[in-house]
Amino acid sequence: MHDTRNDLPVAVRTKVNELLGRRLGDGIDLMLQVKHAHWNVKGPSFIALHELFDKLHAGVAEYVDLIAERIVQLGGTADGQAPSVVKRSSLPHYPSDTVDGIDYVRALSAVLAAFGQAARKDIGDLDGWGDAGSADIMTEVSRGTDKYLWLLEAHTQAK
């Protein structure tokens, strides 16, 4: 931990940074999975999904930045290097040969839902540890993740 005048106790900042480090790994993984879909999607809804995936990627990138900067604010090191992301991410993966638009929508919906579920759990943990600032960040992540999940799942809900 780096020196900081942040008044959260070192023990709390250490736990928070461990939790946020896991979420940073998930967020970077999610960002890359979305970009993979953006590059490779095919089918009759190509342009709509290509643009939606790009919008989703940009939104997740903002969350990744918020999480990484919070880690550093609390005296930690935001580790976004590939080996750390692979080690820390808990998100499911879809087959890399996926091309059909609706298959990507379903796969990304599952990944995004897992990310949102973890963010909601984090809110409670962070509140319990007395870190309202980090809980607020994860509330923003949760709310945005729910919105993007809605935008994806709308493609599968029509009869």
H/E element, 72: helix 46-73
* Residue-level pLDDT at 74: 97
pTM: 0.95
CA gap 66, 84 in Å, rounded: 18
Buried b (16+ CB within 10 A) or exposed e, 84-119: ebeebbebeebeeebeebebbbbbbbbbbbbbbebb
Neighbours of 82 (CB within 10 A): 9
CA gap 108, 128 in Å, rounded: 30
* Residue-level pLDDT at 157: 86
* Residue-level pLDDT at 159: 73
Residue 155's φ and ψ, nearest 5 degrees, are: -75, -15
Which residue reads 């461990």 in tokens?
Answer: 18
Going from the first residue of the chain to its last (159 residues), give the mean pLDDT of each consecutive group of 10, the final group possibly shorter: 90 97 98 97 95 98 98 97 95 91 96 97 97 98 98 89
* Residue-level pLDDT at 138: 98
Class of CATH domain 12-153: mainly alpha
CA gap 68, 88 in Å, rounded: 14
**Residue 30, phi-psi category: left (phi > 0), alpha (psi -120 to 50), beta (remainder):** alpha
Q: What DSSP character marks residue 48?
A: H
| Domain residue spans of the chain | 12-153
